[in-house]
């Protein structure tokens, strides 16, 4: 079956498109490349800037099953029998706290957005992708799913789960002509990386609070512009045979290089200990003692 809609364009549906951010930049770039773009956010009002460009919009809370089902029905009504060419699972949630300090409710919410919501989206939208096959699911992963990004264990784990899930999903959807791409994203200017986080009063990491505070927004240091990120990613996604894994963003290719050489665990372990103040913390612990969650 043809992958083109009635007006001759490929159709792309993207989650998490509020500005500024990756989803918003991707919506603009796919449109610039001649695609019909359907963007989504919790409310259409949040993406009015995209509507002004002629991009169609849909209300969608990716963590709400009924909202996802309603969005799938709405998109089906828009694309009709020809289906959907590209689904971009971009919506995400940040969680930057030491593993011992993460409230369980926050850990669950992070996995709900970064992993289980993607599972739900794929289940509801894949029938539309099969209609348009060959088609593509594009899952926005992270270098955090590859390296031990300090004070980010829950977020890291959610992205590592997404990577593993995507690799198996790729095999299972192959017979139906639906490809799966994982984008291992490095530093990119993004909304979720600007979330304020504070250490609890009783945190074991209070002595290195300065390093923790710097880490909270570390990914935004020398971060790649969202437009530049989107241009390279869209170019790859629209190829006849897109790659299964794409590395994009600040430091992404350096991390790929180090990991492929077998240096990743050693090199990034040392780097994370330094930026997290762990060597300094270890010296404090060595000269004192720990009672409960305090160094005394």
Identify the active-site residue in 155, 229, 239, 271: 155
Structural tokens at position 120: 């739900």
Please list, residue by residue across 29-44, b when 16 or more beta carbons sit within 10 angstroms of its beta carbon and e when fewer do. bbbebebbbbbbbbeb
Contact 295, 284 (CB under 8 A): yes
Q: Is 155 a catalytic residue?
A: yes
Supply φ then ψ for residue 181, to 5 degrees: -115, 135
Helical H segments across 82-225, by residue range: 104-111, 117-131, 153-173, 209-216
Closest-CA residue to 229 (of 55, 31, 25): 25
Question: Given 3-state DSSP classes, what are the helix, strand and coil percentages for the chain, each rounded to the nearest 5?
Answer: 50, 15, 35
Q: What are phi and psi for residue 184, nearest 5 degrees?
A: -85, 100
HSE-CB at 292 with a 13 A cutoff on CA atoms is 5
Which one is catalytic: 10, 159, 205, 229? 159
Distance CA 229, CA 29 (A): 10
The rounded radius of gyration (Å) of the Cα atoms in the chain is 20
Catalytic site residue 33?
Answer: no
Active site residues: 155, 159
């Amino acid at each position: 079956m043809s992958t083109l809609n009635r007006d001759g364009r490929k159709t792309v549906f993207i989650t998490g498109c509020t500005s500024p951010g990756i989803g918003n930049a991707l919506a603009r770039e796919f449109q610039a490349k001649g695609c019909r773009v359907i963007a989504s956010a919790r409310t259409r009002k949040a993406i009015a800037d995209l509507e002004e460009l002629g991009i169609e919009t849909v209300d969608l809370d990716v963590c709400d099953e009924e909202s996802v089902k309603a969005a799938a029905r709405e998109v089906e009504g828009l694309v009709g029998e020809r289906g959907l060419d590209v689904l971009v699972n971009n919506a995400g949630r940040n969680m930057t706290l030491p593993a011992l300090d993460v409230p369980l409710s926050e850990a669950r919410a992070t996995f709900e957005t970064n992993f289980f919501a993607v599972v739900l989206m794929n289940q509801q939208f894949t029938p539309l992708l099969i209609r348009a096959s060959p088609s593509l699911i594009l899952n926005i992963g992270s270098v955090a799913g590859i390296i031990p990004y300090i004070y980010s264990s829950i977020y890291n784990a959610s992205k590592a789960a997404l990577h593993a899930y995507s690799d198996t999903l790729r095999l299972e959807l192959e017979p139906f002509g639906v490809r799966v791409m994982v984008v291992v994203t490095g530093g990119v200017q993004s909304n979720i990386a600007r979330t304020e986080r504070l250490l609890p009063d009783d945190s074991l990491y209070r002595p290195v609070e300065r390093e923790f505070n710097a880490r909270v927004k570390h990914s935004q240091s020398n971060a790649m512009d969202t437009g530049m990120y989107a241009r390279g990613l869209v170019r790859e996604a629209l190829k006849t045979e897109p790659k299964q894994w794409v590395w994009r963003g600040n430091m992404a290719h350096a991390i790929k290089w180090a990991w492929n050489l077998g240096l990743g665990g050693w090199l990034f372990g040392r780097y994370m200990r330094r930026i997290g103040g762990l060597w300094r913390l270890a010296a404090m612990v060595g000269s004192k003692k720990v009672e409960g969650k305090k160094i005394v």
